[in-house]
Structure 1
Amino acid sequence: MNSDFTLEMLLAVIALVAVVAVGAVLVWNHLRVRQLSRQMERLRAERQSLVARVDQLKTQVDEQTGDAQGRHDVALVINPVKNNADDVRKQVAAATRDMGMGEVLVLETTQDDPGTRMAADARAAGVKVVIAAGGDGTVRTVAEQLVGTDIRLGIVPMGTGNLLARNLSLPIDDFDTCINAALSGATKKIDTLDVRFEDPDGERHRHTTLVIGGVGLDAEVMGDTRDDLKAKAGWLAYGEAGLRHLPGDRQDATIAIDGGSARRYKIRSVLVANCGTLQGGLELLPDAKLDDGLLDVMVLSPRHVLDWARIAANTVIGHRVKIPVMETLQGTRVQIRFETPIVSQLDGDSTGEVVGIDARLIEDSLTVMLPR
């Protein structure tokens, strides 16, 4: 009996210990849960505080960014490798400061991008004027982003051809006058050309041109003019490349104006122009004007060197005589198809081989700044 009692006592003690142990575990778990809950509440509060602080900082950054963008009335898109680029940058900054126009947003072009992204950034910043300081390629790519907007285009001609500046009668060698015109000159609406190239793979590429686009000889010349010669002789370097490329075969093409019937030609070069004055005041297309609501097409189909001489002579004397190997057309749209791929250019920049061109005039689509 004593053994039974002893066993019962032992079991009772074990049960009591177990109950105490379980109770202790439950109490500890309860306390731990409460501690974790308090920690979670504290973390939630800290998280909410951090989110609120981040939102506050974001708002401040947005406001400051907006203020900074609003302070930029003028953007300068400049080709930094051009001669006098640093001088032009300083002159623009000084002129805007003197006129109380605030800090200039300066955006430099690169070898891979002559101005497209820079002009888009300027446009996004809400500027009123974008000054394109460079050659015709820089001016064209900047203008491409401004077409159809109220943003005004100023031009500081720093290239070899500077054809748009010449056709606008801007003083090519007077940076001060061009800068002052860009900032406080008179506004003028001009036409632009919406050009769509079709490459040999059937892909279409859309561009804006301000001066002259073309295929054949002129594109060959633009793509093969020596940079070292341009640096020494300026626009006369194009003449050397032209002489090297004069020999060449004509090819079949069809041209339709304003949706009319397509006419067949044997062409050596076709030019689609928004204006017609070249370097040295030479009038390649006397009827082509920047604000006439028309695009001009020149079809050149010389058979030999003598025909080229006739074309050159007729250009020099002002197109007084009509010759069969030099024909001009006008309209608001031109569609051209080529039998075989042919090299192309836009405002002096090579744009590869094409098999088709669809160019349309966009009237009064760009605002440029001119001297008063």
Structure 2
Amino acid sequence: MLVVLNAKAGHLLDLGADPVRRQVEAALSRADRDVQVVVAEGDEMCRLIREAPEAGHDTVVVGGGDGTLSYAASLYANTDTVLGVLPLGTMNLLAYDIGLPRDLEGALDALHTARPMRIDLGTLNGRPFHGVSGVGFFSQMALAREQERERHSRAVGWLIALAKAAFRAGRISLELEVAGVSHPVEAYAALVTVNAFDAPGLHRSRLDGGLLEVMVAEDRGALARLRAGADVLVGAWRDNPGIHLFTTRRVTIHARRRRAWVATDGEVTRENLPLRYVIDPGALNLLVPRTAPQWRTRRADDVT
């Protein structure tokens, strides 16, 4: 097992890289498993993750945020390499979906006895991602959050980013192509998720459902944007009348522009349009704690 810890992750900056490295090594080492723990950043971190399978590591644990995990998932998609995660970043959506505790000691305990599960990935124009990808309001929210991260506490930064995104996000004329049917809409945001965030607390009840969920928010003015943004943050968007939902295996998003900012798993990139999203069922071999709710869902499927 190779464990790659992002030196820029908040936990390492708060606690110190060496103490965290020693704690991780002590927690995950056992008689039948060789563990190597490395602290790195930037290009060096990416190189270690990329070259890990060739170096003989069959399991790679990434300690960082959703962006670092998304990079690793894109490399290990449709391979036998097992990916594990330590939630050391800001959102950590996938880590919390599988029930990893927010404290490092608890996460290490859960990871110590985790076992591999095949989960779905999505692809955006051919590139894999594990969680969410959004345009309009959602990309503006991600950009504003990056700007406010170093200036304010997490809670205050989120509120400021929400307000900025609500007023920066303009109307977009979108055309969604779902199952061969065109859906034109005047919107200010669209979000595509790998399986539905249908459980309380912004969680997914399953990671192997084989479907994308597409959420489109109609443009109803600045106050409606603020409300919709707040509903998304607390997981209440399904009751918002201005938000439309689709489930599908693939969706293509067209717009009257050549390029757009897209926030995917916390990273913002400039993408060429149209945006083509496709589900890739069972693409990633992920270490999932034995207590994760997704194991119960899978056992229920086996019974039925």
TM (norm. structure 1) is: 0.68
Contact 1:107 1:118 in 2 (8 A): no
The answer for the alignment partner of 2:208 in structure 1 is: 291
Answer yes or no: is 1:244 the counterpart of 2:171: no
The answer for the alignment partner of 1:88 in structure 2 is: 20
Instruction: Evaluate the alpha carbon distance shift between residue 232 and residue 275 of structure 1 in structure 2; reply closer, same or farther with a 3 A threshold.
Output: farther
Query: C-alpha separation between the residues in 1 aligned to 2:271 and 2:252?
Result: 16
Number of equivalences: 282
Query: C-alpha separation between the residues in 2 aligned to 1:108 and 1:135?
Result: 14
Instruction: Evaluate the alpha carbon distance shift between residue 314 and residue 184 of structure 1 in structure 2; reply closer, same or farther with a 3 A threshold.
Output: closer
SS in 2 for 1:219: helix
After superposition, the C-alpha distances for 1:188-211 in whole angstroms (9 at most, x for unaligned) are: 221100111xxxxxxxxx421111
Contact 2:213 2:245 in 1 (8 A): yes
Residue of 68, 82, 85 corresponding to 1:152: 82
Answer yes or no: is 1:365 the counterpart of 2:292: no
Contact 1:190 1:366 in 2 (8 A): yes
Contact 1:215 1:271 in 2 (8 A): yes
Residue of 216, 220, 242 corresponding to 2:136: 216
Query: C-alpha separation between the residues in 2 aligned to 1:306 and 1:228?
Result: 22
Contact 2:120 2:207 in 1 (8 A): yes
Query: C-alpha separation between the residues in 2 aligned to 1:320 and 1:219?
Result: 20
Q: Kindly report which structure 2 residues correspond to 1:290-309, keeping only aligned pairs within 5 A, or say none.
A: 290-308=207-225
Query: C-alpha separation between the residues in 2 aligned to 1:314 and 1:89?
Result: 38
Instruction: Evaluate the alpha carbon distance shift between residue 328 and residue 76 of structure 1 in structure 2; reply closer, same or farther with a 3 A threshold.
Output: same
Contact 1:75 1:107 in 2 (8 A): no
CA shift for structure 1 position 103 = 4.2
The answer for the alignment partner of 2:295 in structure 1 is: none
CA shift for structure 1 position 98 = 3.7
SS in 2 for 1:365: strand
After superposition, the C-alpha distances for 1:231-283 in whole angstroms (9 at most, x for unaligned) are: 7522652331120121242121211123x1222111211101015559xx544
The answer for the alignment partner of 1:101 in structure 2 is: 33
The answer for the alignment partner of 1:49 in structure 2 is: none
Instruction: Evaluate the alpha carbon distance shift between residue 243 and residue 84 of structure 1 in structure 2; reply closer, same or farther with a 3 A threshold.
Output: closer
| Higher normalized helix content (fraction of residues) | 1
After superposition, the C-alpha distances for 1:32-58 in whole angstroms (9 at most, x for unaligned) are: xxxxxxxxxxxxxxxxxxxxxxxxxxx
Instruction: Evaluate the alpha carbon distance shift between residue 255 and residue 317 of structure 1 in structure 2; reply closer, same or farther with a 3 A threshold.
Output: closer
Q: Which amino acid aligns with 2:122?
A: L
The answer for the alignment partner of 2:108 in structure 1 is: 179
Query: C-alpha separation between the residues in 1 aligned to 2:110 and 2:289?
Result: 5
CA shift for structure 1 position 343 = 1.3
- RMSD over equivalenced CA pairs, Å: 2.8
Q: Kindly report which structure 2 residues correspond to 1:1-372, keeping only aligned pairs within 5 A, or say none.
A: 74-85=1-12, 86=17, 87-104=19-36, 106=38, 108-110=40-42, 112=43, 115-173=45-103, 175-196=104-125, 206-226=126-146, 229=149, 232-234=152-154, 237-247=157-167, 248-258=169-179, 260-275=180-195, 277=197, 282-283=201-202, 289-308=206-225, 311=228, 318-319=236-237, 321=239, 323=241, 325-340=242-257, 341-372=259-290
Q: Which amino acid aligns with 2:36?
A: V
SS in 1 for 2:105: helix
| Higher normalized strand content (fraction of residues) | 2
Unaligned runs of at least 5 residues, structure 2? 291-304
Identity %: 25
TM (norm. structure 2) is: 0.82
**Higher Rg of the two aligned structures:** 1
> Greater shift after overlay, 116-125 or 224-233?
224-233
SS in 2 for 1:120: helix
Query: C-alpha separation between the residues in 2 aligned to 1:231 and 1:128?
Result: 40
CA shift for structure 1 position 226 = 4.5
Instruction: Evaluate the alpha carbon distance shift between residue 100 and residue 317 of structure 1 in structure 2; reply closer, same or farther with a 3 A threshold.
Output: closer
Query: C-alpha separation between the residues in 1 aligned to 2:187 and 2:89?
Result: 29
Unaligned runs of at least 5 residues, structure 1? 1-73, 197-205
